[in-house]
């Protein structure tokens, strides 16, 4: 690191600067938004909208923390990282921690679940509501409803597709890193269109036309399949180094 720093001070060039910055931890606080289902760690077997998505996020935050801690320590930084999963507070779901505002994630030191109340005109929503009434892209993606962009006005009152597609486009193009489960989710296959690919070109008649909504070949897209072992060993040095797929890709 000191040699790289000296090279930058004496004769800076883009390659050396990129290499130096690539070794310096810069992300210490991470927030993950997940309003999907009953986001708890136990006692929810049989509840709807609860399963792979939640397990996937819990696995990834554990892997992320286990990667961040040694990196920060290795660089000699006295910083404590903080990871927060923000989800829905469900006051009336008894027998679970759905009504608990803050909960530590098992197997972590600095990761918690923060539950916030959802509201409507009457007040706080005390019970679970279906993901189809929360406008969640995971449930209402374009690929599940053929031609819904053409007939968006027909579904607007119930699903608010115009608002969702606009928000999706803004989020996709402004984020720095997108994690997907499979390649097909990004770019589809020879027979089907990908979930992200479906936002590349489409029209909402009477509202707007999208001619280049998203580039599915952008390196910001990264695949981390659910259930994978999040530690991989590469013998590219004499000492095998443990890395985490969520950061490696």
Question: Could you please report the per-residue DSSP string of 99-133?
Answer: T-SEEEPTT-SSEEEEEEE-B-SSSB--S---GGG
Higher-confidence residue: 164 or 138?
164
Q: Are 199 and 213 in contact (CB under 8 A)?
A: yes
Among 52-56, 138-142, 211-215, name the most confident range.
Answer: 211-215
Averaged over 25-40, what is the pLDDT? Answer: 84
Closest CA to 216 of 190, 245, 180: 180
* CA–CA–CA angle 34, 39, 43 (5° rounding): 170
- pLDDT of 241: 35
- pLDDT of 205: 93
Alpha helices in 81-202 (DSSP H): 137-140, 152-159, 161-174, 183-187
The string of pLDDT tens digits covering residues 170-208 is 988 888 888 888 888 898 888 888 888 988 999 999 999
- In which band, very low, low, confident or very high, does the pLDDT at 242 lie, cut at 50, 70 and 90? very low
Higher-confidence residue: 40 or 146?
40
Domain boundaries, the chain: 29-134, 137-231
Q: Measured between alpha carbons, how far is 169 from 222 in angstroms, rounded to an integer?
A: 18
How many whole angstroms from its chain centre is CA 17? Answer: 28
Q: Are 172 and 119 in contact (CB under 8 A)?
A: no
85 phi and psi, to 5 degrees? -100, 115
Q: Measured between alpha carbons, how far is 122 from 146 in angstroms, rounded to an integer?
A: 35
The string of pLDDT tens digits covering residues 119-137 is 888 888 888 877 666 755 5
Q: Measured between alpha carbons, how far is 175 from 222 in angstroms, rounded to an integer?
A: 12
Q: Are 232 and 207 in contact (CB under 8 A)?
A: no
Q: Measured between alpha carbons, how far is 145 from 92 in angstroms, rounded to an integer?
A: 33
């Amino acid at each position: 690191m000191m040699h790289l720093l000296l090279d930058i001070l004496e004769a800076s060039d883009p390659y050396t600067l990129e290499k130096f910055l690539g070794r310096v931890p810069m992300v210490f606080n991470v927030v993950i938004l997940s309003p999907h289902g009953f986001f708890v760690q136990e006692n929810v077997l049989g509840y709807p909208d609860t399963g792979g998505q939640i397990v996937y996020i819990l696995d990834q935050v554990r892997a992320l923390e286990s990667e961040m801690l040694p990196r920060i320590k290795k660089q000699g930084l006295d910083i404590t990282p903080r990871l927060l999963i923000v989800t829905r507070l469900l006051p009336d779901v008894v027998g679970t921690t759905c009504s608990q505002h803050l909960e530590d994630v098992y197997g972590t030191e600095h990761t918690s679940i923060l539950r916030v109340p959802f509201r409507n005109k009457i007040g706080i929503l005390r019970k679970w509501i279906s993901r189809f009434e929360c406008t969640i892209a995971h449930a209402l993606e374009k690929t599940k409803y053929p031609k819904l962009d053409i007939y968006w006005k027909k579904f607007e009152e119930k699903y608010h597709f115009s608002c969702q597609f606009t928000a999706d486009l803004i989020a996709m193009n402004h984020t720095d890193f997108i994690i997907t489960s499979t390649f097909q989710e990004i770019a589809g296959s020879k027979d089907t269109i990908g979930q992200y690919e479906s936002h590349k070109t489409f029209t909402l008649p009477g509202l707007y036309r999208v001619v280049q909504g998203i580039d599915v070949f952008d390196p910001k897209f990264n695949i981390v399949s659910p259930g994978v072992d999040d530690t991989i060993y590469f013998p590219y040095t004499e000492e095998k180094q443990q890395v985490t797929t969520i950061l490696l890709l």
